[in-house]
Amino acid sequence: MSLFRLTAHEAADRLRRRETSSVELTRAALGRIASVDPKVRAFVSVCEEQALRQAEAADARLKSGDAAPLTGIPALIKDNMCTAGVRTTCSSKMLESFVPPYDATVVEKLAGAGMVMLGKANMDEFAMGSSTEHSAFFPTHNPWDLARVPGGSSGGAAVGVAADECFYSLGSDTGGSIRQPAGFCSVVGLKPTYGRVSRYGLVAFASSLDQIGPFTKDVTDCALVLNAISGHDPRDSTSLPVPVPDYAQALVPGLKGLRLGVPKEYFVAGMQAGVQDVMEAALVRLQELGAEIDRDVSLPHTPYALAVYYIIAPSEASANLARYDGVKYGFSAKEAESMWDGLEKTKQYGLGPEVKRRIMLGTHALSSGYYDAYYLKAQKVRTLIRREFDRAFEKYDALVTPTSPVVPFKMGERMDDPLQMYLSDVCTLPMNIAGIPGISVPAGFVDGLPVGLQIVARPLAEETLLRVAYAYEQATDWHKKKPPL
């Protein structure tokens, strides 16, 4: 088997047995990038020289016996996490030439664990989108069907893993931006509990919803990467000061004694028939593994999550993106008559249509006369959505839903209709609203297009997610299927 096909834990085992080196793994990944990235376009930047230097350092560290579980494993980072000395663009003209002077905490942690960083991943501009078509540079293609979208906003990070261009990657999830592309590309993607992973150095989109998490080829890798990035960070006051368990301990077979709820609101309104069939089969499999399944669960406020999300997230975005003034860093319009004119032109030419749409939407929701009707109302319904989840978790260890009601759609199909685009996230938004963790695992295919199974649990119950995901994965072979590239 080619080296680039290995999972991260398989590659790490070979490194420890001296059957390969980090430099060999890195060359294999760079070779794979050279051959398939022109088709899928997952990378905004490839850091070949730096990656090989990091691989040599990792090999020395492995030799000295002082290696961490992920030392020497090549990875890909979504381009909204700051990387010292490496361009961090957010796939926006605004930050096209921005080179951060510091590393995000997650990057610092992975670097400390001996990561080889292959490059930076394409995304919807400022993480606003569900298809990666809103990148200001180029769209990323789904490796299962190049005419279709990979999902978004972390499309590049999902595709990098699905196309075996890297061994794992990091994405960010504000309303489904890890789980939805993981489902669309048939890889594992986890959004941790809000506060589990530091957001320091993550370019802010919606600060009460954003969370960083891993994309991996299997659930074991997911646990390893989560181990490496989790934990309190004094530089992010919203990161939780609680101990981090060893998530690898959660990977035990069987689901005996576990109670799983299936909320019926996730199985209506616009769900494709094929997705429904895949879900039915997955539920049968979970039951065979010993889980008790209750299909009579109702979370009645679920249909309001879309409106709540698309009021709260753009409101926070409109405040966060006010910093792009063309003065401190980033794009700056040169031809302007005055300071105000320069500011307006900087945003007009530096930002793309979806970002402008959300800034305007958020500004409206926060503006005088509309604040109570939109923003405050959305925050109150947010409370109701949280309470509903709290009550469900008194009865169930986890909830099971489809990751998206649809399979990957054709490129261009939803670009002119923002509401249709937003609907592809309808199953993943509620977890960000409630701050709870969720994972998407490969669950099958409809006419060759991937479908994801989403598992959701109470705050800080990532171990439950991993346990259910692992048992399901071990009983199926969807995660071993590779796209025809």
Partner 1 sequence: MKLSREEVRHLALLVHLGLSDEEVERLREQLSNILENFEVLQQVDTTGVEPTAHCIALENVLRDDVPGPSLSAGQVLANAPDREEDYLKVRAVLEQP
Binding site for partner 1 (CB under 8 A): 97-99, 101-102, 194-195, 208, 234, 237-238, 240, 301, 303-304, 307-308, 310-311, 318, 322, 326-332, 336, 338-345, 347-349, 351, 353, 356-357, 359-361, 363-364, 367, 373-374, 376-384, 386, 418-419, 433-435, 459
**What Cα–Cα distance (Å) separates residue 38 from each residue in 140, 368, 377?**
10, 48, 46
- Least distance in Å: CB of 390 to partner 1? 11
Name 449's bridge partners. 446
- Tokens 């989840």 belong to residue: 389
**HSE-up of residue 428 (Cα within 13 Å, Cβ side):** 37
- What amino acid positions are annotated as catalytic residues? 78, 153, 177
User: What's the min distance (Å) between Cβ of 413 and partner 1?
Assistant: 17
Encode burial over 269-306: b for 16+ CB neighbours within 10 A, e otherwise: eebbebbbebbeebbebbeebebebeeebebebbebbb
238-267: burial string, b at 16+ Cβ within 10 Å, e else: ebbeeebeebbebbeeebeebebbbbebbb
Minimum CB–partner distance for residue 51 and partner 1 (Å)? 23
* Closest CB to partner 1 among residues 344, 413: 344
What is the closest distance, in whole angstroms, from the C-beta atom of residue 199 to partner 1 in the complex? 12
Give the β-pairing of 168-172 and 74-78: parallel
The least CB distance from residue 383 to partner 1, in Å, is: 4
| Pair of tokens at residue 298 | 């109702």
State which amino acid sits at residue 58: A
CB of 246 to partner 1, least distance (A): 23
Using alpha carbons, select from 75, 58, 70 the residue that is nearest to residue 4: 75
Q: Which phi and psi angles does 461 have, rounded to 5°?
A: -100, 40
**DSSP 8-state class, residue 143:** T
State the nearest-atom distance from the C-beta of 334 to partner 1, in Å. Answer: 8
DSSP E strand boundaries for 54-181: 74-78, 116-121, 168-172
CB 250, CB 467: distance < 8 Å:
yes
First to last CA, the chain: 16
State the Cα–Cα distance between residues 184 and 88, nearest whole angstrom: 25
Which pair of structure tokens corresponds to residue 266? 């996730």
Q: Is 207 helix (H, G, I), strand (E, B) or coil?
A: coil
41 or 358: CB nearest partner 1? 358
CB-nearer residue toward partner 1: 259 or 334: 334
Contact 389, 299 (CB under 8 A): yes
Amino acid at 39: K
